[in-house]
Structure 1
Amino acid sequence: MHTLVHFTKPIEVMPLAVHRRLLPDWGTTYGPADEGPHPAVLVLHGSEGGLSGWSHRTAAILAASGFLAYPHAYSKGGNAWNAGSIETIELSRTVEALQSLRSFAPCNGRVALYGVSRGAEHALLVATLMAQEKLDGAADAVACLAAPDVVCGAFDARSFRDAGDPGWQAWDPARRAWTWHGRNDTLLPTTPIAVEDFESPLFLAAGLKDQTWSPDMTKRLEARRRNHRLDVEAHYYTGEGHVPGSEGENHHHRLLIDFLERTLLD
């Protein structure tokens, strides 16, 4: 038996706090309900893949905090159940996405890169390569959680690798994760990422109990920035692993959002 329920007064519909907007030719963005413009963040996922939903979740959190966020899916293949691969990913496409996001009407013209794990590597490489070639439109800030300090090899979700520091990982040199204008000869696995080559503010964070990427990599990145007297803000989370727990994630997001506000709004 079905019971019909009749409402005697209209239901109050609460306005959405986060709105989706299509970035033409790229994908969905998440941002505050008002048209802004707002500072923007291009979010780069890790080896969980672009269709897993995690980068969209991060983008929604940033949107609720006042930013226009675009989760850039760059992994190849895969779906919501299969991460796909990170192999021969053309980094110049991310530069194009960055430029499109900056010129998007809801954006105020200031954009940060934020990546986690392989996404952090991706963000650092894009910032470094753009600086080395003196390309216009570089990110106004870069933020990373669990970043490697070296170029890593290709990843395929169907295989697994040992935990630890990819500086000593025996990556297959025939399989490259990244290309730059169609070339991969300068992005060899275990090559140090030249974070001293870009001058935009850099936020680094790592869990001290990370068993996937060693937090020592973040410490080396921080040291290289400080040795070159470049802007760096580093945070190390006691008791947290590669993916922070609930309280750890809340703490990380507070620090990240504070950094983004200071670098994109001031």
Structure 2
Amino acid sequence: MQPDIIRRLLPNWGATYGPSTKGPFPGIVLLHGSEGGFSGWTHRTAVIFAAHGYLCYPHSYSTGGNAWNSGSIEDVDISRTADALSALRGFEHCSGKVAVYGVSRGAEHALLLSFLTAKGSSQRRPDAVACLAAPDVICGAFDARRFRDSGDPGWQVWDPSRRAWLWNGSSDELLPTMPIDVETFEGPMFLSVGTNDQTWSSEMTARLQDRREKAGLPVEAHYYTGEGHVPGSEGENMHHALLLSFFRRTLAPDV
């Protein structure tokens, strides 16, 4: 019996998940958060989206790490993510339409990718951007080996000299505390957040939404009442329904 969802290797990058039928299919690049690429969460989400007709590539960008340690988000060159998106767009099983979807630090990553690629080749630029629990400013580096909860004796003050992101080898445009540019990318944008998010306040998403609206750019924003940084079962089901509706509209073939 042929599985409904199968893996296909995106050469030089990694596994994609998509329907076992011929295709081609709209593509989605998924960006993990501080849980890292080895955690498997983006692969789980990729399979869910694949069941609805999408070709999904979970892009692991964290540095180091393994199945027991998520690694770090430090000096991550977003130009490599743009190359991965371009590779998925050109993949024989992809329709040529590609969105990027990120959660938490992955949402930050997705927003940064959108404006950094906005003026360059359309091959490396997402057709749509979707985020869950995004900050509205650039954050510093994260290292799971040093992370401790507040109150833990090993807790350390955040070091702003350590940079999370690079673009073509430089962090000059991506310094911690800089507002994330959401006015340059002109394509459709989906923003979402739990109103009880204790990591990044839902006010951050509200500010992103406000800036998009003032710039006259397309934005769809959803606020999940009572949900935290990562929604529970009911909240996740609602989030996925809204997200799939967004992808259906924004990744439809050109007519």
Q: Choose the corresponding residue for 1:87, options 74, 98, 116.
A: 74
In structure 1, what is the equivalent of residue 191 of structure 2?
A: 204
**Where do 5+ consecutive residues of structure 2 fail to align?**
151-156
Task: Assess if the C-alpha contact under 8 Å between 1:178 and 1:184 holds in 2.
Answer: yes
TM-score, normalised to structure 2, is 0.94
1:113 Cα offset (Å): 0.4
Rg bigger for which structure? Answer: 1
Which of 160, 179, 199 does residue 173 from structure 1 map onto?
Answer: 160
Q: Does 1:228 align with 2:228?
A: no
> Which residue number in structure 1 is paired with residue 62 of structure 2?
75
One-letter amino acid matched to 2:190: F
Report the CA distance between 1:185 and its aligned residue. Answer: 1.5
* Partner residue, 1:135: 121
Cα shift at 1:81: 1.3
Contact 1:171 1:189 in 2 (8 A): no
Task: Read off the aligned partner of 1:25 and give its amino acid letter.
Answer: N
Q: Deviation string for 1:138-185 (max 9, x for gaps)?
A: 11100000001111000011233778xxxxxx7422100001111112
Q: Give 1:100-111 correspondences, 5 Å limit.
A: 100-111=87-98
Q: Distance in 1 between matches of 2:15 and 2:71?
A: 20
- Counterparts of 1:148 and 1:72 in 2: how far apart (Å)? 20
- Equivalent positions of 1:47-62 (< 5 A) are 47-62=34-49
Task: Give unmatched runs, 5+ long, in structure 1.
Answer: 1-12, 164-169
SS at match of 1:234: strand
Letter in 1 for 2:78: L
Equivalenced residues, count: 246
Aligned counterpart, 1:184 = 171
One-letter identity of the residue aligned with 1:208:
T
Once superposed, what is the RMSD of the aligned Cα atoms? 1.3
1:44 aligned residue (26, 31, 45): 31
Moved over 6 A (4+): none
TM-superposed deviation, 1:135: 2.9
Output the CA distance in 1 between the equivalents of 2:64 and 2:165. 16
Kindly provide the amino acid, as one letter, of the partner of residue 249 in structure 1. E
Q: Deviations over 1:56-98 (max 9, x none)?
A: 0010111011100000000011111110000000110001001
SS in 2 for 1:128: helix
Q: TM-score, normalised by structure 1?
A: 0.90
